[in-house]
Amino acid sequence: MRLTTPVFRLKRHAKALASEAGIPLHAALDRIARREGFQNWSHLASAAEPVSRAGKLLNGLAPGSLALLAARPGQGKTVLGLELLLEAVRAGRPAAFFTLEYTAAQTREWLARLGGTPEEVARVQVDATEEICADHIIAGLNGMGSGAVAVVDYLQILDQPRSRPELAVQVAALHAYSRQSGTVIALLSQITRAFDSSGSKMPGFNDLRLPDPLDVSLFGTACFLQDGEIRVESRS
């Protein structure tokens, strides 16, 4: 049986109902479940839809992880990154998006189109300034609290201004900060154009577009996307 709305929203409806009707939360949850066609909340929870792909990815990223979300253009890496942030705020975790590609307004519109409620969208910290680099990201994440999740858009242009440290130095700084703070940092990454003619079905670490040398072992996890398929590869 398919739910009319995701479980996390049903829980919010139940909390509102408990407050309005002056009944215990468990009673409100059961009432919401019956409206959905289930015997009670336990019955609904056991039959709920599977965890989303972003939810599964988030559950697999340990605190302090430095990760990659990598794909050729148009394969959905930005969507997955934004979905990851929505899953984070739904889990009560701080979330931040650092983008050199989109404006803050465009990002918030996108989050809303992906199903984020106004409250959820507002809880995602969006930084779309031109100053984004490793030091700027670290400064922005300081004080966000434990369990924070950050997505950076995107890896290959962090050192585009020549005044910035080279990419290898910035990635090393982000790796050290993520381990020290327990923050999950996921960087969107391009895949080399040569992949399109390689005959491979799914890109991997060897297909990353890296104009300059980079120690990819600093990334504990990478999520590769191609033609609607996702493969998660761990180097730990």
For the segment 65-114, what is each residue's pLDDT rounded down to a tens digit? 999 999 999 999 999 999 999 999 988 899 999 999 999 999 999 999 99
Q: d(Cα 86, Cα 169) in Å, to the nearest integer?
A: 29
In this prediction, residue 160 carries a pLDDT of 85
Q: d(Cα 52, Cα 50) in Å, to the nearest integer?
A: 6
Residue 50 has pLDDT above 70, yes or no: no
Handedness of CA 177, 182, 185, 186 (dihedral sign): positive
Residue 51 has pLDDT above 90, yes or no: no
In this prediction, residue 232 carries a pLDDT of 92
In this prediction, residue 42 carries a pLDDT of 77
- Which tens digits make up the pLDDT trace of 197-214? 999 999 999 999 998 889
Domain assignment present for residue 200? The answer is yes
In this structure, the answer to whether residues 139 and 23 fall within a common structural domain is: no
Six token digits for residue 40:
């009670």
In this structure, the answer to whether residues 133 and 113 fall within a common structural domain is: yes
In this structure, the answer to whether residues 226 and 205 fall within a common structural domain is: yes
In this structure, the answer to whether residues 19 and 101 fall within a common structural domain is: no
In this structure, the answer to whether residues 21 and 69 fall within a common structural domain is: no
Q: Full-prediction pTM beyond 0.85?
A: no
Q: What is the torsion angle, in degrees rounded to the nearest 10, for the CA atoms of residue 32, residue 34, residue 37 and residue 42?
A: 80
Q: How confident is the model at residue 48 (pLDDT cuts 50, 70, 90)?
A: low
Domain, as residue range, for 13? 7-47
In this structure, the answer to whether residues 25 and 118 fall within a common structural domain is: no
Domain assignment present for residue 38? The answer is yes
In this structure, the answer to whether residues 11 and 71 fall within a common structural domain is: no
Provide the number of structural domains found in the chain: 2
pLDDT-above-90 percentage for the chain: 75
In this structure, the answer to whether residues 42 and 59 fall within a common structural domain is: no
- The CATH number assigned to the domain holding 145 equals 3.40.50.300
In this prediction, residue 11 carries a pLDDT of 86
In this structure, the answer to whether residues 40 and 58 fall within a common structural domain is: no
Residue 23 has pLDDT above 70, yes or no: yes
